[in-house]
Amino acid sequence: MVNRTTPALFAAFPELEDYASSPLSRIEELIHSTGFYRNKARNIQGFARKVLQEHDGQIPETLEELTALPGVGRKTANVVLQELYDIPSGVVVDTHVARISNLFELTRSKNPVIIERDLMTVLPQKYWIDWSLYMIFLGRSSCTARKRHCEACVLGDICPSSSVRARKSEQK
């Protein structure tokens, strides 16, 4: 839904100043379909105002500064740092990353902050930026939440949770 909503939002507000000065109701109207639109609109406007006032209109380059902005948590901050500045500040943990990292037995937690910490201890930093993209792709293709397709997965032979691996172990 976000991908469907943002083109109209970006067309209506091409500059950071536009978000900061717009009537909140206009932002709400454009993002209504995303759900929780009132809170999101307040965060969008608060983010714009704070970046303009406290960072001279420049998106901060540290996790600490980004997470101090309205509506920005660790996941968003990590995405911003990775995409804008190519800074591997951590591992982006969404539902796919959390689920598959548990299947790979890289973590036992359901808490995104703990999962991120666990992944940062087992993954070399050079893989932090791409890890979530690979896991999202895997989570949308062969390792979906509703049904895993281990036989079609490139990692089926090595994944600890794979039905392919389990069958091979039984045959030995």
Active site residue 172: no
Q: Which of 56, 94, 110, 147 is catalytic?
A: 94
Q: Which of 50, 75, 157, 172 is catalytic?
A: 75
Main-chain phi, psi angles of 62, to 5 degrees: -130, 150
- Among 101, 145, 100, smallest CA distance to 119 is for 101
Neighbour tally for 156: CB within 10 Å? 19
Active site residue 94: yes
Residue numbers annotated as active site: 75, 94
